[in-house]
Amino acid sequence: MLARVATFAIDGVDPRQVWVEVDIRSGLPAFTIVGLGDASVRESRDRIRSAILNSGFEFPLTRITANLAPAFLRKVGPGFDAALALGVLAASGQLPAAALTSYAVFGELSLGGELRDSPGALAVAEGARGAGLARLIVPRERAREAGLVQELTIVGVPTLRAAAEVVIGAQPPPPLPASPGSFPRGAEPDLCDVRGHAAPVLALEIAAAGGHNLLLEGAPGTGKTMLARRLPSILPAMTRDEALEVTRLHSVAGIHGDGLVQARPFRAPHHTISSAGLVGGGSPPRPGEATLANHGVLFLDELSEFQRPSLDALRQPLEDGCVTIVRGQRALVFPTRFMLVAATNPCPCGFAGVDDRCRCGEAELRRHRRRLSGPLLDRMDLLVDVQRPAEHELRAPPATSSAQARARVAAARARQRDRLAGSPARANGEMDVRLVQRHVQLEHAAERTLAHAYATGALSARGRHRVLRVARTIADLRRHERVTQEDMLTALGLRQRVGREAALAA
Ligand SMILES: Nc1ncnc2c1ncn2[C@@H]1O[C@H](COP(=O)(O)OP(=O)(O)O)[C@@H](O)[C@H]1O
Ligand SMILES: [Mg+2]
């Protein structure tokens, strides 16, 4: 007898429908799985046999052939176990095959017949809805995540036996676990911990308001890491679509707890990371940190320690908002719309330009600067010196709390949304040259100030474009229709090192 069960493979970060076909014929006992499965799919034969027997069913002592179709798609991981087991039960007449037609089935089995937590449930649920299936069986731990997809009945069960009983109709689908409520914002680090640092804190707020990339430079212990970690606390909340996308990506990567991800991602990979780890890759291709930071922040601490190939690999993701990984005949696309924040010492020892403790030689300084220059520095909108706060600043009250800054950021974002409606950009940081021309209007004095800065050679043409975008964000924060001279001076001040850097990199 032949049975067919729908399931899904995760291809990069997207679901692809897979049909599990199980055929049972008389013959010597054998269990073969064909259809381009990896090692864990081949090993699933032993898990399925034990799980079926330990769930109180019979394992047919005949010739069993299972096929995973379409055959051209690589099937990776143990997530096909449950579909294969239910297929065997249906093909051997222990389940009515017709009852399975409205179901998609997803999950790994243990030898004892438990359905184990498996990564990628939200992607599978989206695939099941897209394929027009009415019900989806998932491990109980993933029920709430899969339940984020509406118009689909989620059957979150702990065991193969429980899944079979729901399919037969002996048991109703168990209710979805209750949602834990909204995400508590107070849990994250807050800007009120930061003393002094007026310019860096302002830069952080501008970066959040316009979606600008930010470089913090300063001696060790001045609070660069501390500042960067507080950026998520002032970013606007994600829309539901953004949250669903982040949940899907984190779920596929297996780094996701339960339900909907509500906090914007903050990814801070160690500087030893490879380029595949940073932008995605491997076989089968997996998303990298740039994709896990999608809709959030990618923080590169100690930027000059990263290997140059890893940093170069960030070029396309930064430019296009996505990264394309080519494997054989196929290309996978991973989303990478993140804000880049980087921190670095001014020199290898950290004290150049700060005090006379610096012992770095000219060659070391040059090497350090060369590592920083190039593709990443070109893409930084804000370049901020972080200096050691004065003693009285450490005792003074903080400049702002995260809640106050967040309110200003949200208002500035609303202004940008209205202005940019109908264009592909959502924030000033995403405006291209044409959008900048159309939307960034300067008062005369601001125009003169910018022209002067450009004429003195302190700005490159690209730097000028970036200053205009940042100036627009500053004007949005201050509720100015046109960019004033003061806005322009603030923007130029937050890019003060460009001219020097450009000269050094040449
Ligand atoms: N401006 C500041 N206000 C309050 N605490 C600070 C400040 N600067 C530094 N600190 C303290 O010093 C610690 C080290 O700062 P850190 O962010 O690790 O420095 P960096 O990354 O620049 O080396 C912080 O965790 C914080 O306790
Ligand atoms: Mg640090």
Ligand 1 atom closest to the CA of 194, numbered from 1: 3
Task: Give the atom of ligand 1 at the shortest distance from the alpha carbon of 195.
Answer: 3
Mutate to test the pocket of ligand 1, among 222, 299, 391 (most ligand atoms within 8 A of CB): 222
For position 458, what pLDDT does the model report? Answer: 75
Instruction: Say how many CA atoms lie within 13 Å of 244 toward its Cβ.
Output: 13
Q: How far is the CA of 446 from the centre of ligand 2 (A)?
A: 35
> Ligand 2 centroid to 359 CA: how many Å?
20
> Which pLDDT value is given to residue 444?
94
pLDDT score at 501: 46
Torsion, CA 305, CA 306, CA 308, CA 309, rounded to 10: 160
User: 182: Cβ–Cβ under 8 A, 6 or more apart, which residues?
Assistant: 262
Measured from the Cβ of residue 203, the count of other Cβ atoms closer than 10 Å reads: 26
Helix (H) or strand (E) holding 91: helix 81-91
Helix (H, G, I), strand (E, B), or coil: what is residue 295? coil
**CB burial class (10 A; 0-12, 13-18, 19+) of residue 118?**
buried
Which of 449, 445, 424, 448 is CA-nearest to residue 434?
424
Per 3-state DSSP, the chain is made up of helix, strand and coil in percentages (nearest 5) of 45, 20, 40
Check pocket membership of 261 for ligand 1, CB cut-off 6 A: no
From the options 3.40.50.12280, 3.40.50.300, 3.10.20.310, 2.30.30.790, give the CATH code of 214-380. 3.40.50.300
**Ligand 1 within 6 A of CB of 226:** yes
311 C-beta closer than 6 A to ligand 1: no
CB 201 within 8 A of CB 370: no
Paired tokens of 25: 């014929």
Residue 183 φ/ψ, nearest 5 degrees: -80, 125
Residue 149 per-residue DSSP state: S
220 C-beta closer than 6 A to ligand 1: yes
Judge if the beta carbon of residue 371 lies within 6 A of ligand 1. Answer: no
> Whose CA is closest to atom 25 on ligand 1?
226
Q: Ligand 2 center to residue 301 CA distance, Å?
A: 6
Q: How far is CA 385 from CA 223, 302, 493, in A?
A: 11, 14, 10
Q: What angle do CA 144, 100, 165 make, to 5 degrees?
A: 65
Please state the domain extents for the chain.
Answer: 2-168, 214-380, 402-506
Name the E strands within 12-132.
14-25, 30-34, 63-69, 103-105, 108-109, 115-116
Residues 6+ apart with CB under 8 A from 52: 58, 59, 85, 88, 89, 113, 160
Q: What pLDDT, on the 0 to 100 scale, is given for residue 103?
A: 94
Q: Is residue 229 in contact with ligand 1, taking CB distance under 6 Å?
A: no
Q: Give pLDDT, residue 78.
A: 82
> Can you give the pLDDT at residue 236?
92
Q: How far apart are CA 456 and CA 503, in angstroms?
A: 13
Q: What is the pLDDT of residue 505?
A: 40
Q: Residues 388-400: pLDDT tens digits? A: 888 888 888 888 9
> How far apart are alpha carbons 322 and 316 in whole angstroms?
7
Q: How far is the CA of 220 from the centre of ligand 1 (A)?
A: 9
Tokens 């109180």: give the residue: 56
The architecture that CATH gives domain 2-168 is 2-Layer Sandwich (3.30)
Under-70 pLDDT residues of the chain: 180-186, 352-356, 373-374, 496-506
